[in-house]
Amino acid sequence: MKCLVSRHTVRETLGTVFQRMSVEAGVIKCKAAVLWEQKQPFSIEEIEVAPPKTKEVRIKILATGICRTDDHVIKGTMVSKFPVIVGHEATGIVESIGEGVTTVQPGDKVIPLFLPQCRECNACRNPDGNLCIRSDITGRGVLADGTTRFTCKGKPVYHFMNTSTFTEYTVVDESSVAKIDDAAPPEKVCLIGCGFSTGYGAAVKTGKVKPGSTCIVFGLGGVGLSVIMGCKSAGASRIIGIDLNKDKFEKAMAVGATECISPKDSTKPISEVLSEMTGNNVGYTFEVIGRLETMIDALASCHMNYGTSVVVGAPPSAKMLTYDPMLLFTGRTWKGCVFGGLKSRDDVPKLVTEFLAKKFDLDQLITHVLPFKKINEGFELLNSGQSIRTVLTF
C-alpha cells in the first residue's frame, strides 16, 4: 500500500525538525573544502561549525556554484586570510537561527548573500545604492561580532565574503541571507547568488538599457552571457558579443546575442570596428573581463556623447588605470557595479520568482554538475576554459 505525502506536509515536517534543532543547536561536524594557503588545491576536511549567535543563521548547503572570484583567492589576486572556506554562490536550507532572527526560520529555502543588505546604512537606504556597509570585500574573514564559526584541527578557519559555501554547513549574518520560493531547484537558482544577478542586473539596473538600443558585451563567460540575457530582457535590438575565444560565440548567440566578433579579426582598434558596424550608434557597453585595457576599449566603444559604459568585471587589485579624459568630457557615462546594482535581500527573491515563471533560462549557463568532493576537478574545468558554470551538489 503506497503512502502519499504532499510536498507541503514534508516541508512542514522538515520545518518542525529544524525548529527543534534550532532550539537544541550545538556544534555540527561536517565536510568542507578548506584552502590552507594560496596556490594550493582544496583539502576536504572535517570541520566544526559553531551554532549561530544573535542575529545569525546556520544553513545546510544544497548546491554551490564555482565562480572566478573564488579562484582569485587561490591565485592570490584577491585578499583573504588563511585558512579559509571560500564559495559564495549557493542555495541551502536554514538549519537553525540565533536569537533575534525574524526574517527566516528553520526549514526555509534560502540563498546566502555575499553582498549583505542591512537596510540601515546610507547605501541600503538610498534607492540607487546597494554596497552595504557590512560587506566584506577587504578579506576580514569574520562575522559581524569579529569572530569565526569554523574550526578545523583545532585552528580557526576564516569566512569568505559573508558566505563561505564550500561546506556542508555555514553560518551567516541575518543581513546576508534571502528567503526564496520553496519550489526553486537549488542546483539552478544558486547562480542567482552571484554570477547571473551580477550580469543581468548590470544591464537592467545599472546600465538601464532602453528598448531598441545597441549593446556591446566584452567577455562571454557566465557573467557576460548573463549581461546578454539582461540586455535582451530590456528590449535591446542589437547585442554584439566580443571575445578572443570564438568557441564561446555559439552559446552567446543562443542566449540572445545578435552577432559576435573577435578583436583578432581586424587590425583596427575595436572601438573603430564597432563604430563602423553600428553606424556609430552604440548606446551601452559592458566590460565583463576585469582587464584595464578592455575597460578603456569598452568606454571608447560607446557613443561619445550619449553612450554608457559599465564596468562589471572585478579589476585587478593595486592597479591604476590611465585614460584620456576627453572620452568623458564629450558626454559619455562611465559606471561600475557590484552585484549588478541589485539590492540583495529585496531583489534575489524576485529573480527566483521570475526564473520559476520562465522569464529567463539558467540552464544555458550551467555546463557541469559535480558532487562536492570533486571540487578540485571543477576548478580545473574553470581554468581550462571548458566550463561556463560548474555547480557542486551535496
Say whether both 307 and 258 belong to one domain: yes
CATH number of the CATH domain containing 238: 3.40.50.720
Q: Are 380 and 291 contained in the same domain? A: no
- Per-residue pLDDT tens over the stretch 195-216: 999 999 999 999 999 999 999 9
Instruction: Note whether residue 9 is domain-resident.
Output: no
Pairwise CA distance, residues 217 & 197, whole Å? 16
Q: Does the global pTM surpass 0.75?
A: yes
- Inside any domain, residue 351: yes
The upper half-sphere exposure of residue 322, i.e. CA atoms within 13 Å in the direction of its Cβ, equals 0
> What dihedral angle (degrees, nearest 10) is formed by the CA atoms of 308, 346, 89, 116?
90
Does residue 351 carry a pLDDT above 80? yes
Distance CA 355, CA 337 (A): 22
Q: What is the CATH number of the domain that holds 186?
A: 3.90.180.10
The tally of domains found in the chain comes to: 2
**Domain span including residue 298:** 206-335
Residue 79 has pLDDT above 90, yes or no: no
My answer on whether 68 and 136 are in the same domain is yes
Query: Could you tell me if 280 and 294 lie in one domain?
Result: yes
Task: Establish if 201 belongs to a structural domain.
Answer: no
Are 163 and 243 found together in one domain? no
| 145 within domain boundaries | yes
Examine the domain organization and report whether 33 and 149 are in the same domain. yes
Residues 323 and 271 in one domain: yes
User: Is the pLDDT score of 125 beyond 70?
Assistant: yes
How much is the pLDDT for 20?
46
What's the pLDDT at 3? 47
Same domain, 105 and 146: yes
Same domain, 309 and 185: no
Please state, rounded to an integer, the average pLDDT across all residues of the chain. 93
Res. 13 pLDDT band, cuts 50 70 90: low
pLDDT at 340: 98
The three cell numbers of residue 253 are 548567440
The one-character DSSP state at 205 is I
Q: Tell me the per-residue pLDDT of 294-343, one tens digit each, with 9 for 90 and over.
A: 999 999 999 999 999 999 988 877 678 899 999 999 999 999 999 999 99
Is 105 among the domain residues? yes
CA-to-CA distance for 174 and 334, rounded, in angstroms? 33
